[in-house]
Copies of this chain bind each other. A is one copy, B any other.
């Protein structure tokens, strides 16, 4: 863990390095991903089966090896404990309510020149959701990706998920049942993203690929951007907690660990204005770590990437937060509103002492798929907009074309595009 004081002479330099040091895509990963994409593109299902045998130890020989059926998902759902079933349903309901209200309104109006203008939002035809296997097989992520796609009106929603040595994740299957997904392929990694984007004999291509994944999955999405739409290039998870001394150090330590336990490359940062509080939180992190089954991951993350920044005044915090543009920002202060107003770049903000970030991971309603690695400067969390696109339209009659056409003709001629001018002048007799 790195401890910085904003009053130290070297602070600006040290902080600038933290901002700069966001890990980028690895050249070796890029090359091997590019090879995998090429193989799946040219050899389709055959390449998919080879990679799945090699990376997941799962054989795709029989037809039934390829997919997980709707029956399996229903059975997984039925087998859940009452508590878990209710928890998943509550999460789904709240995510649905939040995202359904995101569907944008169409426009259609006639302006004073008599030109009809507008735009229509339509869902993509097909969306592919990646659900990681292994450590990061989260039913909550399936809901966070599938429900916005459904709210957008996407007709075909496909899940790709690796099943290492054939093992499926009951909770993920139950979540698929709740989200009404009935096309689930047992494939993972870059090869799964390639299959979704290019399509194979078995798997029809999709238009948008979303969902979290490891570095290979993220790089595959990056390379296929443009062939399909993607939600974003995701990196390691991050939390920035801005907390005054009046917080319970135990709560804040738990919040920092809630990111740290995700992955050794996750990053937890605390900004506070009280050195005693900072020290107490640091001590309490040690206690929390000892309580966690995820101790090893959380400890590695905290040791390698954890940061505590001691500021003279919390008024310094928003500028630091804007430079970090973190995925999650907690404002654990009595009156978070002015600070929220001052924060321009963040994936999601958690206000006040009783809003731990984890509540947003599961049941609050807003999406937990958020921009990482300073991308909140320009990117937003996943929403129904990622599954929709807008078509503008224009309608002129002869009078309207006569009103605005001459200006277009003048500009087309000035730009050296005479056929553009012709297409207007022919219609209005100029």
Q: With A261-B418, A377-B125 as given contacts, are A408 and B358 in contact (CB-CB < 8 Å)?
A: yes
B410 near A84 (CB under 8 angstroms)? yes
Let me know if A111 is at the binding interface, CB within 8 A: yes
Let me know if A140 is at the binding interface, CB within 8 A: yes
Q: With A344-B125, A376-B391, A392-B381 as given contacts, are A401 and B261 in contact (CB-CB < 8 Å)?
A: no
Q: A1-9, A226-234, A271-279, A311-319: which lies at the B interface?
A: A226-234
Let me know if A43 is at the binding interface, CB within 8 A: no
Residues of B within 8 A of A98 (CB): 117
Q: With A294-B418, A404-B90 as given contacts, are A356 and B427 in contact (CB-CB < 8 Å)?
A: yes
- The B-contacting residues of A in range 368-420, CB under 8 angstroms, are 370-371, 373, 375-381, 383, 385, 389-398, 400-401, 404-408, 410-412, 414-420
Residues of B within 8 A of A426 (CB): 248, 250-251, 254
Closest to A232 in B: B226
Closest to A118 in B: B366
Q: With A351-B116, A401-B355, A420-B258 as given contacts, are A412 and B346 in contact (CB-CB < 8 Å)?
A: no
B359 near A294 (CB under 8 angstroms)? no
Let me know if A421 is at the binding interface, CB within 8 A: yes
Contact of A117 among B138, B298, B365, B380 (CB under 8 A): B365
Interface size class of A (residues with CB under 8 A): 35 or more
How many whole Å from A420's CB to the nearest CB in chain B?
4
Residues of B within 8 A of A356 (CB): 401, 423-424, 427
Question: Residues 337-378 of chain A: 1 if any B CB is under 8 Å from the residue's CB, otherwise 0?
Answer: 000100111111111111111111111111100110101111
A391 near B361 (CB under 8 angstroms)? no
Let me know if A50 is at the binding interface, CB within 8 A: no
In the docked arrangement, what's the CA distance between A358 and B405, Å? 9
B394 near A390 (CB under 8 angstroms)? no
A362 near B90 (CB under 8 angstroms)? no
Q: A53-61, A65-73, A178-186, A285-293: which lies at the B interface?
A: A285-293
A391 near B422 (CB under 8 angstroms)? no
Question: Residues 94-138 of chain A: 1 if any B CB is under 8 Å from the residue's CB, otherwise 0?
Answer: 100110010010010001010111010010110000000000001
Residues of B within 8 A of A343 (CB): 391
How many whole Å from A83's CB to the nearest CB in chain B?
5
Question: Residues 136-178 of chain A: 1 if any B CB is under 8 Å from the residue's CB, otherwise 0?
Answer: 0011100000000000000000000000000000010000000
B293 near A407 (CB under 8 angstroms)? no
Contact of A355 among B24, B208, B380, B394 (CB under 8 A): B394
A366 near B392 (CB under 8 angstroms)? yes
Closest to A386 in B: B378
Let me know if A282 is at the binding interface, CB within 8 A: no
B258 near A352 (CB under 8 angstroms)? no
A376 near B400 (CB under 8 angstroms)? no
How many whole Å from A380's CB to the nearest CB in chain B?
4
Closest to A260 in B: B419
A interface, CB within 8 angstroms of B? 24-25, 83-84, 86-88, 90-91, 94, 97-98, 101, 104, 107, 111, 113, 115-117, 119, 122, 124-125, 138-140, 171, 207-208, 222, 225-229, 232-233, 248, 250-251, 254-255, 257-258, 260-262, 288, 291-294, 298, 336, 340, 343-367, 370-371, 373, 375-381, 383, 385, 389-398, 400-401, 404-408, 410-412, 414-424, 426-427
Q: List 29 A-B contacts (CB under 8 A).
A: A83-B410, A87-B410, A87-B414, A91-B408, A94-B113, A111-B365, A115-B364, A117-B365, A117-B366, A222-B225, A225-B233, A228-B378, A254-B426, A261-B420, A346-B391, A349-B393, A355-B401, A356-B423, A356-B424, A358-B421, A359-B396, A359-B405, A360-B392, A361-B408, A362-B412, A363-B411, A364-B396, A366-B392, A385-B385
